[in-house]
C-alpha cells in the first residue's frame, strides 16, 4: 500500500517506537530500494526520508539540477514496503537559516545556513571527498543528525557507495552518543559494473559507456591485493590511465576506517569526473601481512 507522506515533526512523534530509517535525497534507484529491503525487517515502522539537503552542496554544484522525482519515488517506496515517507520542507530542517533570509524559499547552499550550529566532521572530513568538497560533510552530518533527532530511529541504513559518508556517520553516532544502530549495505551496480547513483542521469550515452572504467580499475586493484599496497595502486592506475573520458580526482588505498592502510581489511576508493557528474566508487580488499 502507498506510504503515508508526513512533512512535520509533530506527525513523526505519533509514530511510536521500533523505527528504521533510510535517509535519501530522492531520485530513488535500485540501490535505495536495496537499503529499504534491508531495513524492512529490522523494525516495526520503516521510514524513508526524502530531502535534497541544500547545505551539502557548495555554490556552483548541482543543487538546482539535482533530479527530483517525488511521485515516482513514492511508488518505489510502496514497492519496497516503506510505511512512512518523511519529506520535510527546507524551513522545517533549517528554520534559523530561513529566518535570516525570509524572502527566499530555498536558502543558498551554505549561505545563511552557516550561522547555525553544525556538526564538525573533524579531520576525516578533509580528505578524499572532503579535499574537493570542503563543506560537504559538515552539511551531510548536520542534516543526518537533524533527521536522527526528528525521526528518532533505532536503526538507520546507508549505502556503502558513499563509503566516507558511512564511516563519518558511524563516527558521529559514536562521538555524539546518539545510540543508533548504523548499518551499511553493499553497492548495487548496473550489469556492466557502474555503481548506481542518482547522478548517473547526467551521463550522455557516450559517457555512460566510459563510466564503468571506475569499477574496472577497482576490480583490477582488488585482484592484485596479494601483492600489497603498491601492486593494488599500480594495477588500478593501469586501468584508469587507459580509460578515455575519465578525469581522475583521486584513487586512494585506505584502511576500513579510512586511516593509513594496514594488513587486513582495506578500501580502495576512487572519484572521477565523467562529463558533468563526479562519480564515486569503492571496493573492499584484504592486504597481506607486512613483508609479503
Ligand atoms: O546519501 C545521501 O543521499 C545523502 O547524503 C543523505 C545521507 C540522505 C544526507 O542528505
Residue 101 pLDDT > 60, yes or no?
A: no
**Span 270-287, mean pLDDT?**
97
Task: Give 22 Cα–ligand 1 centroid separation in angstroms.
Answer: 9
Phi, psi of 146 (to 5 degrees): -65, -45
pLDDT tens digits for range 1-57: 899 999 999 999 999 999 999 999 999 999 999 999 999 999 999 999 999 999 999
Find all residues with CB under 8 Å of 61, minimum gap 6, and list them: 109, 133
Residue 107 pLDDT > 70, yes or no?
A: no
Q: With cut-offs at 50, 70 and 90, classify the pLDDT of residue 98.
A: low
Assign 284 to helix, strand or coil.
Answer: strand
CA separation for the pair 164, 137 (Å, rounded): 9
**Span 51-69, mean pLDDT?**
93
pLDDT tens digits for range 216-275: 999 999 999 999 999 999 999 999 999 999 999 999 999 999 999 999 999 999 999 999
- String of DSSP letters for 27-47: ---HHHHHHHHHHGGGSSEEE
Ligand 1 neighbours by CB, cut-off 6 Å: 23-25, 53, 56, 140, 143-144, 162, 165
**Span 127-141, mean pLDDT?**
97
38 annotated active-site: no
Burial class (CB in 10 A: 0-12, 13-18, 19+), 61: middle
Task: Give 27 Cα–ligand 1 centroid separation in angstroms.
Answer: 12
Amino acid at each position: 500500500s502507498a506510504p503515508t507522506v508526513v512533512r512535520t515533526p509533530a506527525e513523526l512523534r505519533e509514530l511510536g517506537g521500533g523505527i528504521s530509517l533510510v535517509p535519501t535525497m530522492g531520485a530513488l534507484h535500485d540501490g535505495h530500494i536495496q537499503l529499504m529491503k534491508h531495513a524492512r525487517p529490522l523494525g516495526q515502522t520503516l521510514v524513508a526520508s526524502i530531502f535534497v539537503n541544500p547545505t551539502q552542496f557548495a555554490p556552483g554544484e548541482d543543487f538546482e539540477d539535482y533530479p527530483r522525482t517525488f511521485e515516482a519515488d513514492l511508488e518505489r517506496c510502496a514497492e519496497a514496503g516503506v510505511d512512512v515517507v518523511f519529506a520535510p520542507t527546507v524551513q522545517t530542517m533549517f528554520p534559523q537559516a530561513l529566518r535570516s533570509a525570509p524572502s527566499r524559499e530555498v536558502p543558498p547552499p551554505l549561505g545563511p545556513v552557516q550561522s547555525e550550529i553544525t556538526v564538525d566532521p573533524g579531520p576525516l572530513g578533509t580528505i578524499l571527498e572532503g579535499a574537493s568538497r570542503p563543506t560537504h560533510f559538515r552539511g551531510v552530518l548536520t542534516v543526518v543528525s537533524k533527521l536522527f533527532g526528528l525521526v528518532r530511529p533505532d536503526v538507520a541504513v546507508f549505502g556503502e557507495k558513499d563509503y566516507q559518508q558511512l564511516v563519518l556517520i558511524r563516527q558521529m553516532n559514536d562521538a555524539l552518543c546518539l545510540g543508533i544502530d548504523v548499518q551499511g549495505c553493499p553497492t548495487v551496480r548496473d550489469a556492466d559494473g557502474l555503481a548506481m547513483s542518482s547522478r548517473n542521469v547526467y551521463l550522455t550515452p557516450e559517457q555512460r559507456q566510459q563510466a564503468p572504467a571506475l569499477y574496472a580499475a577497482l576490480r583490477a586493484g582488488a585482484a592484485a591485493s596479494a601483492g600489497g599496497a603498491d601492486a593494488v595502486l599500480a594495477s588500478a592506475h593501469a586501468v584508469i590511465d587507459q580509460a578515455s573520458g575519465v578525469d581522475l580526482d583521486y584513487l586512494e588505498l585506505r584502511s576500513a576506517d579510512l586511516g593509513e592502510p594496514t594488513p587486513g581489511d582495506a578500501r580502495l576508493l576512487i572519484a572521477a569526473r565523467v562529463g558533468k557528474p563526479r562519480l564515486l566508487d569503492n571496493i573492499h580488499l584484504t592486504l597481506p601481512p607486512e613483508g609479503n
